[in-house]
Amino acid sequence: MSGKNYGFETLSVHAGAAPDPATGARAQPIYQTTAYVFEDADHAAALFNLQTVGFIYSRLTNPTNAALETRLATLEGGRGCTVASSGHAAQVLALFPLMRPGDDIVASTRLYGGSIQQMRNTYPKFGWTANMVDADQPENFKRAVTDKTKAFFIESLANPGGVISDIEAIARIAEDAGVPLIVDNTLATPWLCKPIGYGATLVLHSTTKFLSGTGTSMGGAVVDSGKFDWARGGKFPSLAGPEPAYHGLNFFETFGDMAYTFHSHAVGLRDLGPSQAPFNAWLTMLGIETLGLRMERHCANALRVAQYLERHDAVAWVNYAGLPSNKYHSLAKKYLPKGAGSVFTFGVKGGYDVGVKVVDNVELFSHLANIGDAKSLIIHPASTTHRQLSDEQRLAAGAGPDVIRLSIGIETADDIIADLEQALAKATA
């Protein structure tokens, strides 16, 4: 796919997947195998020494996964990619080359509840600390930096609140601090936003969501921009220092702008083992073929639903950046010019009890803990995804007692609205 300036939809269909040279099969094959035969002893040694590129064992690399990695790196404008078993696995894999015990990251408070839980309660078991700050004020990141800070972490379009971070401003602060900016781009997808173009170093995805698109396939991904100087300041010895497992090999000196991706496969997947199943990678490849078409409908439907809810007597507020009344509307026009996504929240009058009744009375919507499906989904975060957090933490994350999160699907918009109408009527009767 090199040499031409193809459009997003073309790359979504073709990047990483050529006709199979052995059989001529046009669909990407599923390489459902654990291991690969070596040509001879020298070939095996070269593979294990990272002197040549190839396949050894599917925990490290797999041809189906490699095709997905190429497609994601291409769509995000990155240099390389590593897919993982889930979005949470991708987050750990992303930080693994950067962190040592005693190090910290500076992260936005406006994150998916599971990510906040991971940062507050699980990372400390590794000796890592997450300093959580309000990303609405980028200067908060600068104030939180310590000599142990190794990364900034934000979501381009936050789950569940639909909050949009000023990626470019935060990236400048990260550059001044000499640390990479990690951006979770799950809700926006590269169709709406390309964080690398605004200064992000690494882009994460839960491929389970919009990239797959049908709620069938668990997966995660880490896309590397290839633009960060890992030798700067001596902060990242795993990437720019001798690696004992490979006879002192220095990944950054040896692989340059592919250092991070090579390390993620050769060390991260090798030692942590969060490999994506080839069948899930194959299903995600299929999903990405229609990503642009789906996101266009997702966004159009979401805007109509948000406009309807903004006028509803039972609704206290709507947080959708596509609405001119929204505080993030100007950021949406900059970072998400094709639409503000399909996941957003609204607040019901009557609080927690009314919120629970709404989700109990929907018919077309599915009440479940996922987003990014072709089907419309609904959840009450305070009683589900964010229930492990304190009241204060839930409010900071945009998941207060009155909050309902919607993931608007690609059904007929009038049917989606009608279902919300009857559910709100029953909940407030």
Q: What is the pLDDT of residue 32?
A: 97
Q: What is the pLDDT of residue 2?
A: 60
Domain assignment present for 3: no
Do residues 230 and 317 both lie within one domain?
Answer: no
Domain assignment present for 348: yes
If the chain, 429 residues long, is cut into consecutive pieces of 10 residues, what is the mean pLDDT of each piece? Answer: 82 94 92 97 96 96 98 98 98 98 96 90 97 96 98 93 92 98 98 98 98 96 98 96 95 98 98 98 98 98 98 96 96 97 95 93 95 96 77 76 94 98 95
Of 267, 287, 307, the last residue of a domain is 287
Do residues 190 and 112 both lie within one domain?
Answer: yes
Do residues 100 and 15 both lie within one domain?
Answer: yes
Give residue 191's domain range. 8-287
Of 248, 269, 287, the last residue of a domain is 287
Do residues 317 and 183 both lie within one domain?
Answer: no
Q: What is the pLDDT of residue 78?
A: 98
Do residues 226 and 296 both lie within one domain?
Answer: no
- Count Cβ neighbours within 10 Å for each residue of 332-347 and write b for 16 or more, e otherwise: beebbeebbbbbbbbb
Of 287, 319, 347, the last residue of a domain is 287
Domain assignment present for 411: yes
Q: What is the pLDDT of residue 3?
A: 56
- Domain count for the chain, please give it: 2
Do residues 242 and 303 both lie within one domain?
Answer: no
Q: What is the pLDDT of residue 193?
A: 98
Do residues 306 and 166 both lie within one domain?
Answer: no
CATH for 279: 3.40.640.10
Domain assignment present for 1: no
Q: What is the pLDDT of residue 22?
A: 87
Do residues 257 and 301 both lie within one domain?
Answer: no
Do residues 234 and 168 both lie within one domain?
Answer: yes
Domain assignment present for 369: yes
